[in-house]
Amino acid sequence: MQLREEEETVTSEFSDQLKTTFNWFDTNFTKILEDTFCEFWNENADVKLVCVSENTNILAEREEFFVTQIRLNKELSVFIRLSKNIVKNLLENILGPNGRNFNIEKLTELEAKILTGFDDFLYKNFSHLIKSGDALPVNNTNYNEANLTFFLKTKTKTIGKLVIKIPVVAIEPETTPLAEESFSITDFLNSTAEVKLNVGYTRIRLNELKHLEKDDIVMLEHSKSNKMVLTYNNYSTEIKVVPNPAIMIDYDNFDDNGNNPKGDNTMTSPDIYNMWDTIQVDIGAEFEKVKLTLGELKQISEGLVVDIGSVYDNRIDLKVEDKIVASGELIIINDRYGVKINQIFTEEKNQASDNAEYAQEHPQQQQIEEMLDEPEYTQDELEAPHVQEDTDTSVNEEDFDYSDFDVDDEDL
């Protein structure tokens, strides 16, 4: 029953109207608080209304306050709460530092009178906005309270929080009509935004990953040709897309698992030499950042099927833990996506490929480089006869152990 009452409180009329009444609270109470602060403390302060809430005030949790209660009748009261920081700063400005650790629970009688005097003076200045006495409802059953939380700052520092708690039935805030939209979302349907499109993933062994080659096809076991996952910043959602017939490969050339029985252009399983090669990793396929119009994104948000034909022309990357290992073109086989590889990003393979291509284009330069790589010899090394050490027959006397040749009497 208690949970139901809290839920009803959150959806009360007062909370529902906060969008249109916040301006009334800000305009009236902020100006009054600034003038009161300046007049009482003889110091200017910048006052900001940062929150208007009903009952719960998360900005005041786990914080100590000096509280002044002003009764409106026997049942209802207004509470003015000064945070520990604001109390400390105000008292030090008036009375000077006292040389001891400040404890809000051990205020002197003089200090309490000064703070209470300020709270009473503040209430007097905004009391015309509050109902009291006979103006309050008889037999009241609504005990919800409005919390107005202000931050106070001087020219040099933020001095603390001030919270005014008022019974909801004691105030009648004026509503300010919300401004009409000066534009419509339809005005921006052709504007574009960069998003990521993930088409699926599969699991492969490390040994297979290390032996990926150009023109291999990586089938994405966890994918569907009519679905993708759209990501924009931290927001992700599954979207429905129209499969592109142009990237579909003949169904008859592949079995139900997306494998080519002829072995053409499929990823082979190399020999396994150690247990690390058997470890499986997730490899996912993701388009490089693509641009979609706001019109297309609007259709996606409404759950409509979107035709993203232009996206299929973009490069698609194969990633392992957000690291690109290969790229290629997207294909569809038996209602699932696959990637036909046209570029490998493994450093060793790239280096070998670059060296081979360079050697083919510059054979003479390659021969010169090989000659330069041969070891150089000094004149003495060239003239000295080459003596081959017979490491097999040479014996170090210190390594010789006569005990290995002990003969028992019985063998004689």
299: pLDDT confidence band, cut at 50, 70 and 90?
A: confident
80: pLDDT confidence band, cut at 50, 70 and 90?
A: very high
Q: Which of 128, 137, 148, 306 is nearest to 227 (CA)?
A: 306
378: pLDDT confidence band, cut at 50, 70 and 90?
A: low
User: Residue 397: pLDDT above 60?
Assistant: no
Q: Which of 333, 331, 327, 321 is nearest to 288 (CA)?
A: 327
Q: For the ranges 156-160, 286-290, 355-359, 372-376, which has the lowest average pLDDT? A: 355-359
User: Residue 159: pLDDT above 90?
Assistant: no
Which range in 5-14, 37-46, 229-238, 372-381 is most confidently predicted, on average pLDDT?
37-46
Show me where the domains of the chain are located: 7-133+143-170, 187-349
The predicted-structure confidence for 337-351, as pLDDT tens digits, reads as follows: 999 999 888 654 444
Domain 7-133+143-170 class in CATH: alpha beta
Q: Which helix (H) or strand (E) holds 331?
A: strand 323-333
Separation CA 107–CA 104 (nearest Å): 6
DSSP 369: H
Q: What integer is the mean pLDDT of 276-297?
A: 84
User: Residue 233: pLDDT above 90?
Assistant: no
More confident residue, 364 or 129: 129
Separation CA 294–CA 195 (nearest Å): 11
Q: What are all long-range contacts of 396-403, with beta carbons under 8 Å and residues at least 24 apart?
A: none
The predicted-structure confidence for 324-335, as pLDDT tens digits, reads as follows: 999 999 999 988
Q: Which helix (H) or strand (E) holds 120?
A: helix 109-126
More confident residue, 397 or 152: 152
pLDDT of residue 300: 82
Which range in 1-15, 29-43, 132-146, 255-269 is most confidently predicted, on average pLDDT?
29-43
pLDDT of residue 408: 54
User: Residue 158: pLDDT above 70?
Assistant: yes
Sequence-ordered list of residues with C-beta below 8 angstroms from that of 55, at least 6 positions apart, any chain:
9, 144, 145, 147
Whether 335 and 224 have beta carbons less than 8 Å apart is answered as: yes
Separation CA 143–CA 133 (nearest Å): 16
Neighbours of 84 (CB within 10 A): 17
For the chain, the maximum distance between any two Cα atoms, rounded to a whole number of angstroms, is 133
| Residue 14 structure tokens | 């007062």
User: Residue 39: pLDDT above 60?
Assistant: yes
Q: For the ranges 70-84, 103-117, 254-268, which has the lowest average pLDDT? A: 254-268
Q: What integer is the mean pLDDT of 90-103?
A: 83
Separation CA 285–CA 140 (nearest Å): 64
Whether 121 and 24 have beta carbons less than 8 Å apart is answered as: no
Neighbours of 167 (CB within 10 A): 22
Whether 17 and 171 have beta carbons less than 8 Å apart is answered as: no
pLDDT of residue 81: 95
> Considering the chain, what is the average pLDDT of its residues?
78
127: pLDDT confidence band, cut at 50, 70 and 90?
A: very high
| Residue 249 structure tokens | 């490969």
User: Residue 55: pLDDT above 80?
Assistant: yes
Amino acid residing at 65:
F
Whether 240 and 208 have beta carbons less than 8 Å apart is answered as: no
